[in-house]
Every structure is written in structure tokens, then in C-alpha cells.
A and B are shown apart, each in its own frame.
Chain A
């Protein structure tokens, strides 16, 4: 049981971080990026190709993070341009549809060209015991990196003036403009950040299990569900929901079976949405 919970936390942290990226973009820009999982996959592929070409692990990972950031920038500059002209629900819908189209293009191309490609990052060394449970080093390193990233995000948003500026746009876009903050520049920044986070999650995921070209859609769906349960726009909500759902997923899968546990997970998510549409930590309108 403890092993399950620990595994669940490892999984949950990653999905929480992924969801955080998605929820930030939504909270700041009212944009739902359904191509998010594909961004993670592209970053993973970038790292995989770099490794194939003989690039050492750390620079390869750096390349992946760079790729993720660039994808975010690209999205902002191209696909989302027409979306920015709209407001409110229309904006969300169009962003949803356009990014869905983009995810098709990426998914189709990658699966056609490199159908078997996957990224795996081996962390050498034996298992380490945590609370009496032998954990793979890969899982531990992945979790450590995720936690450090979460802490970094925390510091960024709480302590730096740029982070505060970003928060202010989420709080009140017009108010932010009145203090000299340009919301579209902040959105661009957050999109780049979300791309980097996606890449980071792909990389840490690869330390636990292979990330292949087909995982794009499932990553997007999980990120979306965690985001919604946590509360659209709430980073803490995303992290909390991620951990909870991660634990539920692993524990239920062990006790009952993969598919039924998935249904339980989905059902729990749906229930949360129905009982409390604002999500766990979301803001009630």
C-alpha cells in the first residue's frame, strides 16, 4: 500500500506539474491548449534525437527544455493570433479547436514518420529505500526535479516582481494594464513557461517509463482532467489534484485493475466537476 502511495505521488507530481502549465495559460490568457501533450512529446523527441546524435544527457535535456519554450513562443506568435481577437467563451472555444487541429498535425506527422520512437532516460544505480519501499532511482530523481521546479515556481510567483506582474494579470487584467503591465507580453511569457514545463515533465517521465510518440493525447487528457479538478487557473489546485488523482490511480489500479481504476479516476474527476465546478482550489465566480 505504501509502495502504491509513493508511486502515486511520483506520478501525481508529474501530472500536477503538467496541469500547472495548462492551468496557468488558461488562467492568464483564457486559452485552452489541447496541443499541450504534443508539446511535451516534441520536446521528448528532441531530447531523444539529440541523444542519438551523441549529445550528452544534460545538454540534451537542455535542448528539450529549449524546444518546449520555443514551441510555446511559436504557439503565441502563430496559432493563437486569431484567438486573441476574441474574448471569453468564444476565445476558449476557438483556442480549443485550433490547438486540437495542431495536435492532429503533430500527432499525425510524428506517428507517420517515427512510429516507434520513444524517449527513455536511464538513471543508473540500485534502488533506494524510502519508508521501507525500494524505489527506483529514476522515480526519485524525477520527483526531486519536479519538487524543485514547484519550489522555483513558488519563489517566482511570490517573490519576483515579474512573477507578481503575471499574477496581477490573472487577478485583474485591466488593473494590470493600469499599472503599466502588458497582458499580452505576460501571456507570451507564460506560454513559453508552459512549454518548458511540458518539456520538463516529458523528461522526468522518461526517467520512469518510456515516452513515445503516441502519448501526446493521453498526456493532454490527463493534464486537462487534473486541471479541471484542481480548478481552472489555480496552480496549487493543479498540484494538489495531481497528487490526489495520482495516488487514487495507482492504488485503485493495484486493488482493482487498470481499466476499472481508470473509470474510478475519471468518475472522481467528473464528480468533482459536478459538485464543485470551480475545482478544488478554484475561485468561485
Chain B
């Protein structure tokens, strides 16, 4: 579904990530793990079109989307939840969600599904996004991305700033969505959470993919265990 090959990207001429190659097949849950500053956010921003690549290729469902601006990429069936959420603070939950469906009118069925998935949002339909708690904003960001009925959902560090309970709840919701056929790509610093959720994963270190494998393989990998699972 999503194929990235030899991708490099960075800022002002300096590449933060180099020689990136990974893929996501339909129905899978794939994680990209790495420590802070490894380049996960840069990579995702490049894939989704918020940042131009310096070299390489990105293909989605066969279409070449390398360097395509985000507003067009998003219309091809990819939803993105950035680390900073990027909600519309003075607009209500309802407005945020209906904008997620832009340019189409919000589909009542999808809306109901989102409300069902995140009951807290249903309670706060008229509340402005800026006044909500971190966890609620996270839910809203995911919900908004779901409104366009994406086939692939990409999340950048969804557990950031969330209490452990809420982070687990988020992944629970993602699990439910997977059962309904959503393909998920997630970048995470909190590796155990991502590992429990994903089928496969890639380890991003210093701007390069160092290791890849199924979750089980990675969990057994001694370097991974040492670096990310706190095992000495």
C-alpha cells in the first residue's frame, strides 16, 4: 500500500533522514520506533507532504506521491495525526470533525462511528478544541483524520503527553479500527505500547533504518531490548 524507497529529507540542505526504505501492506499495523531526534517526525512529515524530500520515492497504492503537497496527499486516502495534533483551537469539536471530511460533507455514519469510538467527544460536541485536555485533543485529532474515511492512518507519537491510561486507550481504539480494515502506520517512542499493537516494525536510529522485522523478532532482538525495552 505504502512504499518508501531511498528517501532522504531534512532542513536547509542538511538531511535528517537518509536512505529510508520501508513498506506497509494493506491491513497491517507497522511501527517506526526510535529515540528522540532519530528523525521519525521528519520522515513522516516528508511522507505526508509537509516537507519536501531531497531524494527518494514515496508511492501510495501505486501512485507516486513523492513531493506531493500534503493537501493533495490527504485526499488520496491517507489520514495523518501529527505529534502536535494541529487542531483548530477556536472551533468546536463538531466543526473540527466536519472539516476532517473536507471537501465532502461529513458522513453521518462516519461521524457516529467516531463518536462511538470516543464517547468523550460526543459529550463535548460544542466545546472549543483549545479548551480540551490533552487526551481529548488527541481523540479529536484521530477522529478528525478518520472523517475522510482513510484507508491508511499515519500517527506520529500518539502517546505523547498522555497519561498511560489514555495512551493505552488510544491504542485500543486503533485496534478496533484495525479490525474494521484500517491500515495503520505509527511512529512511537513508547516502544512497548507500539510493539503490542503492531505486526511489524522498523528501528530508526540517527536518520537511518537500522533494523526491521516482525514485532516478535524485534522483541527478541538484544539491541532493541537494551535500547528500547529497558532490559540490561
A172 to B148, CA, bound (A): 18
Instruction: Judge whether A174 is part of the interface by a CB distance below 8 angstroms.
Output: yes
Contact residues in A for B72 (Cβ distance below 8 Å)? 180
Q: Would you call the interface of chain A mostly helix, strand, loop, or mixed?
A: helix
Question: Of A176, A177, A181, which is in contact with the most chain B CB atoms at under 10 Å from its CB?
Answer: A177
Tell me the complex Cα distance, A70–B27, Å: 49
Indicate whether A175 reaches chain B with its CB closer than 8 angstroms. Answer: yes
The answer, yes or no, to whether A178 is at the interface (CB within 8 Å) is: yes
**Is B153 an interface position by the 8 A CB rule?**
no
**Are B88's CB and A178's CB within 8 A?**
no
Q: Flag if A177 contacts B91 (CB, 8 Å).
A: no
The B130-179 residues at the A interface (CB cut-off 8 A) are 144-145, 147-148
Task: Note all chain A residues with C-beta closer than 8 A to B71.
Answer: 176-178, 180-183
A72 to B68, CA, bound (A): 28
Is the CB–CB distance between A178 and B69 below 8 Å? no
Task: Assess A177 versus B50: contact at CB under 8 Å? Given A161-B105, A164-B91.
Answer: yes
- Compute how far the CA of A171 lies from the CA of B100 in the bound complex, rounded to whole angstroms: 14
Chain A residues whose C-beta falls within 8 Å of the C-beta of B70 in the assembled complex: 174, 177-178
Which of these binds chain A: B79-87, B185-193, B203-211, B213-221? B79-87
Contact for B91 among A171, A178, A180, A182, CB less than 8 A: A171
From residue 56 to 71 of chain B, which have CB atoms closer than 8 A to chain A?
A: 69-71
Is A194 positioned at the interface, with any CB of B under 8 Å from its CB? no
Q: Of A167, A168, A178, A182, which one neighbours B80 at CB under 8 angstroms?
A: A178
Residues in chain A near residue B147, CB distance under 8 A: 179
Residues of A contacting B82 in the complex (Cβ-Cβ under 8 angstroms): 174, 178
Q: Which interface class (under 10, 10 to 19, 20 to 34, 35 or more) fits A? A: 10 to 19
Tally A-B pairs: CB < 8 A: 73
How many angstroms between the C-alpha atoms of A257 and B98 in the bound complex? 53
Contact for A181 among B49, B50, B102, CB less than 8 A: B102
Contact for A174 among B50, B75, B145, CB less than 8 A: B50
Interchain nearest-CB distance for B145 vs A (Å): 8
Complex Cα distance A165/B80, Å? Answer: 18
Distance A32 CA – B181 CA, assembled complex (angstroms): 47
* A183 nearest in chain B by CB position: B71
Nearest-Cβ distance from residue B216 to partner chain A, whole angstroms: 33
For B145, give the chain A residue with the smallest CB separation: A178
In the complex where A161-B105, A178-B82 touch, is A172 in contact with B89 (Cβ < 8 A)?
A: yes
Residues of chain B within 8 A (CB-CB) of A177 are 49-50, 69-71, 74
Selected A-B contacts with CB under 8 Å, 16 pairs: A164-B95, A164-B98, A165-B99, A165-B102, A167-B88, A172-B87, A174-B82, A177-B49, A177-B71, A178-B71, A178-B74, A178-B82, A179-B74, A179-B147, A180-B72, A180-B74
Residues of A within 8 A of B (CB): 161, 164-165, 167-168, 171-172, 174-183, 283
